[in-house]
Amino acid sequence: MVYFRWDHDEQELMTFELHVHTTGWVAFGFSPHGELPGSDIVIGGVFPNGSIYFSDCHVVDEATLEEDESQDYQLLSVTENETSTTMLFKRHLRTCDPNDLDITFAVPVEETKYACTFIPLPVVKQKHHIYKFEPVITPHNITLVHHILVYACGNASVLPSGIDDCYGANPDFALCSQVLVGWAVGGESYQFPDEAAISIGTPWDPQYVRLEIHYSNFDLLPGLIDSSGVRIYYTPELRKYDLGVLQTGIFTFPVHFIPPGAESYTSYGLCNSSQFDEMNGMLVPDLHVFAYLLHTHLSGRGVKVAQYRNGEQLGIICEDNKYDFRLQEIRDMKEILIIKPGDEILVECNFQTLDRSGVTFGGPSTMNEMCLTFLFYYPRNNISSCMGYPDILYVAHVLKQEASDAVEGMMAMDFVDWDNETVKIAEKAAKEADQVVMIKTINEIQRNETGLIRDISIPERAACHNISGYLSLSGWRATANLRLTAVCPSESSTTKETASLPLLSVTQLVFAWLILASEYGK
C-alpha cells in the first residue's frame, strides 16, 4: 500500500518520495509519541481538474489540522494515475519552526555515545504478553551499534521528552533501570519460553520504556544517520507467568578497574539478595532462571556466575570461558535454575590487557569495561538490579597508595607501578575487600547491602573424548569403519584407549554419531 524512500545530503537536506496506492490526497508526518496531536504533517494531492496542492501543517488535536505559518517543506513533484499517487518533496533536518519536529537521530562525531529516549508501550484494553523481540539494525550501521537496551519505567517517574545522552548532564535520561529486553553485538531475535512472557496492559505494568542505544563511532565519521531499534511482538494469548530480568555483576562505575599488561585479571561483583523481600514490598517468589546474557567489552575473556546459599556454593549458574565480544546472545539454560531470596549470586569476569599501557576503568565506552550478567526468570518481582563493587580505599592502601576517598582511590590506580606482581596484589585485594552491594527496584528505590567474595569451586570435568575415523563410499551405499580414540590430556598421562566398531551403514553411522554428539557435546 505504501512505498517510501528517503535520503539526505551533507547540507542536512532530506529528500522524500512517497508512493501510495490511493488517489485524491496523501499525507506524511512525524509524531512525537506515535499519536496525532502534536504531529508535523505534510499533505498534498491532485485536484480533479489536474491542478496540485501541497501544504506544511501541524495537528492541534484529533480533529484539527492547521497550516504552518512557515512553509518549510518544498514540493518537487506530485503525480497521480488511475490507482496511485506519488509525491516527491524535501526538508531540512532542523527548520527552527516550532511546529516542525526535528528529524533525528544523527550519530555524533564521538567515539562513544549513549542515546536515550522514552517511548510509550502499546495501549491495550486488556493484559497482553510480549513474547518475542528482535533487533532492527540499520544495515550500513552494523559496526556502529554496540548494544540496545529497553528499560521499563516506574509509573511514578516524571520522564523527559526528546533524545539526549543517557548518562550526561540531565540525570532524568538515566531513569528506569529495569531491563525488559536487550541486544548486543552478535545477538539475534529471541522468543521467550511458552510458560512466561513480559506483561503489559495492567495497572502494575510499565506504561513507558527507556530506549538506550550505545554507538561506537571509532572512526569519527560525520553525517551518519541511524534508525536502529528493537521490534517487539505481543499477544492477548497469555502465558502462565510474567517474566522479569535481574541485572547482576559489577556496578560499572566509579570503582571498577583493570590493570594494564595483564595476561589474566579477575574482577568480582556480588549480589546479596537478603533484602529482596523487604524492597519488593512482599515476599519474593523463587526465581526460575531460564536464560541469561553475558556482557563485557573488548578485554573480556571469560564470565562465570556462581550461586551460594547459607554460605555454601550450590553450583555454577552459567559460564563462558571463551567469551567473544562479537557473539553476545541470549542463551537458554539447559535446565530451569532456582534462586531463593537470601541466596548470593557472584559474577566473576576475567580480562586480558596485554595490548594496553594504561589502566582500563569501568565505564560506558567500548574501550572501558563492564562485567554484567542479565538473568531472565519468572515470576516477576520489583527488583531490577543487584550489583556489587569492592572497597577501593582498601585496594589502594594494599597497593601502598595514599587515598582518603573513593575518587582519590581510583586516581591512585594510575600511579601504581604495574607489573605481574602488582597485578596479582590488586586482584587479591579487590577480592578480599568488603563488597558494597547496590540493590535497586523498578521504582528507583535503592539500598546498599554488604558482603564478601567467596571462592568459586569448579566441578571436575568429565573425561574428554576424541573421535577419528574414515568413511568409504561405494556406489549409492556407503559403509564406514569407525574408530574411537579417547585421549585424556593431563600433566602425567597421555594414555589412549581405542575401540573398533563393525562396518556400519550410512543410517547406522548417522545415528551413532548423533548419540555420541549428544553424549559428549561434540
Angstrom distances, CA of residue 300 to CA of 350, 359, 424:
6, 14, 17
Contacts of 508 (CB under 8 A, 6+ apart): none
d(CA 461, CA 478): 36
Q: ∠ CA(325), CA(329), CA(334), 5° rounding? A: 125
Residue with cell 561506537: 216
Type and span of the H or E element at 469? strand 466-474
Residue with cell 562513544: 112
Residue 340 phi, psi (nearest 5): -100, 145
Q: Is 114 a catalytic residue?
A: yes
Q: How many CB atoms lie within 10 A of CB 332?
A: 11
Q: How many CB atoms lie within 10 A of CB 9?
A: 10
Tell me the DSSP string of 184-201. Answer: ETT---EE--TTEEEEES
Tell me the DSSP string of 151-165. Answer: EEPPTT-----SEEE
Amino acid type, 81: N
Backbone Cα Rg of the chain: 28
- Contact (Cβ atoms closer than 8 angstroms) between residue 486 and residue 497: yes
- Contact (Cβ atoms closer than 8 angstroms) between residue 385 and residue 336: no
Spot the catalytic one: 58, 146, 256, 295: 295
Residue 241 phi, psi (nearest 5): -125, 155
Q: Which of 249, 238, 270 is nearest to 378 (CA)?
A: 238
Spot the catalytic one: 58, 73, 114, 378: 114
Q: Three-state SS string across 439-462, please?
A: EEECCCCEEEEEECCCCCCCCCCC
Cell of 444: 528507583
d(CA 506, CA 84): 59
Q: How many CB atoms lie within 10 A of CB 123?
A: 10
Where do the H-state alpha helices sit in 186-241?
none
- Show which residues are catalytic: 114, 295
